[in-house]
Amino acid sequence: MNITFIGGGNMATALIGGMLQQGFAAAGLTVVEPDPAKRDALQQQFGVQTQAAIETGLPACDVILIAVKPQSMKAVAQQLAPHLGKQLIISIAAGIQVNTLATWLGGYTQIVRVMPNTPALVRAGMSGLYAPPDVDTGHRAQAEQIMRAVGQVLWVAQETQIDAITAMSGSGPAYVFYFMEAMMAAGRALGFNDDDARKLTYATFEGAIKLALDSPDDAATLRAKVTSKGGTTEAALHAMEAAGVKQGIDKGIAAANHRGQELGAILGQQ
């Protein structure tokens, strides 16, 4: 698979690193990136080919993965349009709908839209994928193979579900960090210094996730198992219920989903 990345920033770097580890050949990867320092770094770190602009000629490739900021997508798509034949286009830009991108690409429709998340940077990502019905199975398989290099994938049948993916796994790492921040602050209030509060919080998250992944029990059962009647965990969970923590999470995720729909509408009007 010959793949050309448009944009050589954080996400492209994470994807390339993951793909090389999964056995993709560096000789098959090209990055179009205007910043010479980033081009040099990509060449040196990964041994991939780089070029400064699309105008200097797009190499023959099977897949074009657009990894620029959403605000740059229209200009990039318009530059790409004359070069398209039968390549798969993968877009990871937040909020840009397939129909909008297809219009900017001059009516080209072999597009898979992906919503990755930041743990992709450490190859523990969760990516949601959507393809309109006329994208063929070969192209779907290529998109999945690429995104699997940086974590897990989940296909959705409707494009609106990409907003829901954004609300869950796209923004999700921030919810986890928010809970961690609160837990560390509570630890400091109990008298722990910063380092110890951090250690207690990070190890608890790491251990709980490992336990959940390794256990046949669901999260509710695991929670019940550590909540003895009249004990400390029960006291904590009662206080959290009374403070509306669960409703807060529910409202937060609904708000993210709603904002994703709004941003999609705004970005489509560029």
Give CB contacts under 8 A, 24+ apart, made by 47-50.
Answer: 48/16, 50/8
6 is in an annotated binding site: yes
Pick one of 43, 49, 72, 160: the residue that binds ligand NAP (CB under 6 A).
Answer: 72
3-state secondary structure at position 128: strand
CB 173 within 8 A of CB 256: no
- Helix axes of 10-21 and 36-46: crossing angle, nearest 10 degrees: 10
- Torsion angle of the four alpha carbons 263, 116, 27, 30, in this order, in degrees rounded to the nearest 10: 10
Residue closer to ligand NAP (CB basis): 5 or 108: 5
Gap between the Cα atoms of 169 and 157, Å rounded: 17
Q: In the range 128-157, which residues lie near ligand NAP by CB under 6 A?
A: none
Pick the binder of ligand NAP from 117, 169, 171, 201 (CB under 6 A): 117
How far apart are CB 73 and ligand NAP at their closest, in Å?
A: 7
Q: What is the DSSP letter of 115?
A: E
94 sits near ligand NAP (criterion: CB under 6 A): yes
Residue 93 binds to ligand NAP (criterion: CB under 6 A):
yes
- Single residue of 109, 118, 160, 161 touching ligand NAP by CB under 6 A: 118
Question: Which region among 31-39, 55-63, 103-111, 217-225 touches ligand NAP (by CB under 6 A)?
Answer: 31-39
Contacts with ligand NAP, residue ranges (CB under 6 A): 6-12, 32-35, 38, 67-70, 72, 75-76, 92-94, 115-118, 170
